[in-house]
Every structure is written in C-alpha cells, then in structure tokens.
Amino acid sequence: MIIRTIKPEDYFEVGNLIKTAFSQTSHGYDGEAELVEEIRKDPLYDPELEMVVERNNAIIGHGLMSRVDVDGTVGLALAPLSVFPEYQRQSVGRKLVAKLEEKAVQRGYTFSTVLGWPEYYQRFSYVKAANHNIKAPFSVPEEYYMVKELVPGGLDNVTGTVHYLQAFGA
C-alpha cells in the first residue's frame, strides 16, 4: 500500500472512487466528487494536502484537507475522505488521515475540523467542536461536527465560526 500526493491524471479515478464510496453509506452520495473539483479550482487549494492510497496500481482511497478560517485563525477541514467499500475496515482510512495530518503539520497547520460520524473520527482524536466553542457555519447536530489539535496547544485561543472555501457554499 502506497500513500502519495495526488496527480492530475488521478482525478477521474478519484472521482469514481468518491462516488462509489459515498453511494454505499447511509448518508448517500451528495456531490462530494464535484465538491473536490471545485476545491481544486480555489487559489487556496494545496495539492500537497490531497492524497491517494494505491494498492496494486489502483487507487483505493482518497483524502483532502482544505483551508478554513475560524474568526481569523487558519486551520484545515478534512473533507472528503473516501475508501472503496471492499477496503474499508483495513486501516486504509486511518493511515491516510495520519499521512494527511503529518503533511498538515509540516505545512504549519495546528488544527483540523471534520463533519462526519463521531464513532469513526473519535478514533483519530477528534472531539466535538462545541467543546472548544467552535461552531459550524451551517446547522448540524453538535456531535457530528468535530475538531482536532494537530499539535499541542493547536486550539488555544481558537473560537468562533468556521469559514470554508467558497466551494463548500458555507
């Protein structure tokens, strides 16, 4: 298994992966592949924070972190994270998140937000954003909106509403 930075020639395959992975969830597919395409067009998009997992020369996982602003403090959002269903529950997502977070720290980021299943993301030390007085810019049940310090003290003095890139429409 290889985890590497995405290349433009991966985009089509990644789009199919995202559609397949999200279609198999209870939430269903909701335009996540198109969201990724829009994020890539943003001037603040950092291709170093978009990675794929390869096994036997096929892409089986994808993750993207994009810039957010919490009332003046810059951080990241992990969205989306996708693994082909047949490779789920094999630590593919866990290893991909770890690699993305490692790259984020190298690039100077101190925290990350995520909207997702608490049972899954709490495994990676994400906690309710509300515990840190951080709010989503949209209505969402509190337990599904989470945040994580990427470095000790990474959330010190970070409070307020998260502002995403325009691609998110939030």
Strands of 2-97, DSSP E: 2-5, 50-55, 58-70, 73-83
pLDDT digits 0-9 by tens, 2-42: 999 999 999 999 999 999 998 876 676 667 899 999 999 99
59: domain CATH number is 3.40.630.30
Question: Tokens 């608490």 sit at which residue?
Answer: 118
pLDDT digits 0-9 by tens, 51-92: 999 999 999 999 999 999 999 999 999 999 999 999 899 999
Helix (H, G, I), strand (E, B) or coil at 58: strand
| The model's pTM | 0.94
- The tally of domains found in the chain comes to 1
Which residue range is the domain that position 19 belongs to?
2-168
DSSP structure class, residue 116: S
The encoded tokens of residue 93 equal: 């997502």
